[in-house]
Amino acid sequence: YQAKRDRTGVEVYESKRDSNTPDRLGLLGDLRRALDAGDVELHYQPKVRFDGQVAGLEALVRWVHPERGKVPPDEFIAIAESSGLMPHLTEYVLETALAQVARWRARGLRVPVAVNVSPRDVHTPGFAGSVAARLARHGVPAGSLQLEITEHVLLEDPQRAADTLAGLTGHGVKMSLDDFGTGYSSLVHLRRLPVSELKIDRSFVARLAVDTEDAEIVRCTIDLAHSLGLVVVAEGVEDDETWERLRDLGCDAVQGWLVAAAMPPEEATAWLLARGSRGWQRPKAALPAAL
Ligand code: C2E
Ligand code: MG
Ligand code: MG
Ligand code: MG
C-alpha cells in the first residue's frame, strides 16, 4: 500500500479504490475485526444556525489502523459497501451515536445527531424497523436522530427505497439529503425523497466567495430548497467571507472548520457545554495591533 503523512504527521492510507486487491481484502478483514473490538470511533461535527444556535452534530466515523494509520472514511466505506460489511458498520455507527445521544441527554444536552447511511442500508430489508427498535432501546426520541442519505438511494429499486424512507419518517426520524449538487440533483428526486433538510456539497461552497458561477448555483439551490420547505445547510465552510455570503443568500445553517472540525466525544461534550445557551459566536476580528 502507499502511505503519505497528513498535516499532523500521522500516516494516511491510500489505495486504488476500484479493485479487489489482496490489500483491500486485508483491510476488509482488519475493519471487521476493528468493529468487533470496538476500535472504530465516531467524531462529531456541529451544524450551527446563523444566530449561533447548535442545530445538531454529525457523526463521522474514524478508524486508525494499527499499522497503516488513519484510513479516510471514503476509503473504507467503499470497501464496506462492496463487500457486504456495510450493514454491520451502520449498526455499529447507529449504536455508538445513539448511546452518545443518550449520555448527552442525561447531562441536559438535547442536541440531535445526524448519522450517514449508505444506499445499501436503505435497501436492507427491515432497516426502518431496526432503527426504531434501537431508538426505543436507548430511550432516545426519534426527533433526536437525523439520517443523511444521498440521491444514490434512488438508483436501484427506487420503490423499495421510498418505502423504507417513508417507514423512517413515519417513526419520526428526520431525513437529510447530503452532498447535493454532486449527483443527479434531479427535481424528481427532490420531490420523491421525504427529506426535511438539504446539504449543499462542499465543492460548491468552497469557492463561493470567489467564483460567481458557484455563487449562482448556491443561490438557486437555497431558493429551490426553501420553496420546497427544506432547511438548507452548507458543508465545508472554512472562512468568514463564505459564512457572510451564505447568510446573505438566506442559508439556514453551516458546517465546517470555521465553526469546528469533527471532534472526539469528550471534546464535543466540552464544546457543547462551553456554548451553553449562547450558542456559537464567530470569533471577533483581531484589533489592529498599533492602536
Ligand atoms: P459527508 O457526510 O459529506 O461529510 C462531510 C465531510 O467533510 C467529512 O469528511 C468532514 O470531516 C469534512 N469536512 C467538514 N468540514 C469541512 C471543511 O470545512 N473543510 C473540508 N475540507 N472538509 C470538511 P470525512 O469525515 O472524511 O467523511 C467523508 C465521507 O465519508 C462523508 O461525507 C460520508 O459520506 C462518509 N462517512 C463518514 N462517516 C460515515 C458513516 O458513519 N457512515 C457512512 N455510511 N458514511 C460515512
Ligand atoms: Mg454527511
Ligand atoms: Mg456531504
Ligand atoms: Mg461527502
- pLDDT tens-digit profile of 67-124? 999 999 999 999 999 999 999 999 999 999 999 999 999 999 999 999 999 999 999 9
Whether the CB of 147 sits within 6 Å of ligand 1: no
- What's the whole-model pTM score? 0.92
Residues whose beta carbons lie less than 5 angstroms from ion ligand 2: 116, 148, 178
Residue 73 CA to ligand 4 center (angstroms) comes to 10
* pLDDT tens digits along 242-271: 999 999 999 999 999 999 999 999 999 999
CA of 36 to the centre of ligand 1 (A): 23
Residue 201 CB less than 6 A away from ligand 1: no
Q: What is the pLDDT of residue 14?
A: 57
| Cα 288 to middle of ligand 2, angstroms | 38
Strands 197-200 and 231-234: parallel
Q: How far apart, in Å, do the first and last CA atoms of the chain sit? A: 55
Over residues 180-232, the pLDDT tens digits come to: 988 777 788 888 899 999 999 999 999 999 999 999 999 999 999 999 999 99
Asked whether residue 11 carries a pLDDT value surpassing 80, the answer given is no
| Interface ipTM > 0.95 | yes
For residue 118, which ligand has an atom nearest its CA? 1
pLDDT of residue 190: 84
Q: What is the dihedral angle through the alpha carbons of 154, 134, 40, 70, rounded to the nearest 10 degrees?
A: 30
Ligand 1 center from residue 60 Cα (angstroms): 6
